[in-house]
């Protein structure tokens, strides 16, 4: 049967390690769960950032082609059908 967990080791400066321990206690989580939660939040934020970057890129391209409104987009979509 495959392992469901993989142990990893990280090194932190003492003051960050102490803060980490305090946050785990404050959140009533063990350090592993706190790390998982932090990592999932980081992934979600990174995906959101990537989405906004793509959105800005697409908006810039659209403006360059004179596509400025939702109606402009609908017109192009309907023309393609």
Confidence tier at 79 by pLDDT (50, 70, 90): confident
Q: Specify the pTM.
A: 0.69
Give the residue from 16, 20, 46, 15 showing the smallest Cα distance to 34: 20
d(CA 76, CA 17): 55
Measured in residues, the chain has a length of: 81
The string of pLDDT tens digits covering residues 47-69 is 999 999 999 999 999 999 888 89
DSSP string for residues in 1-64: ---S---------HHHHHHHHHHHHHTT--HHHHHHHHHHHHHHHHHHHHHHHHHHHHHHHHHH
* Domain segments of the chain as ranges: 14-79
């Amino acid at each position: 049967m495959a392992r469901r967990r993989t142990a990893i080791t990280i090194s932190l400066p003492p003051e960050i390690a102490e803060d980490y321990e305090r946050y785990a206690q404050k959140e009533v989580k063990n350090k592993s769960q706190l790390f998982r939660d932090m990592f999932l939040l980081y992934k979600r934020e990174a995906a959101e950032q990537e989405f906004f970057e793509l959105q800005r890129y697409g908006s810039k391209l659209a403006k360059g082609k004179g596509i400025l409104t939702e109606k402009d987009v609908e017109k192009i979509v309907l023309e393609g059908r």
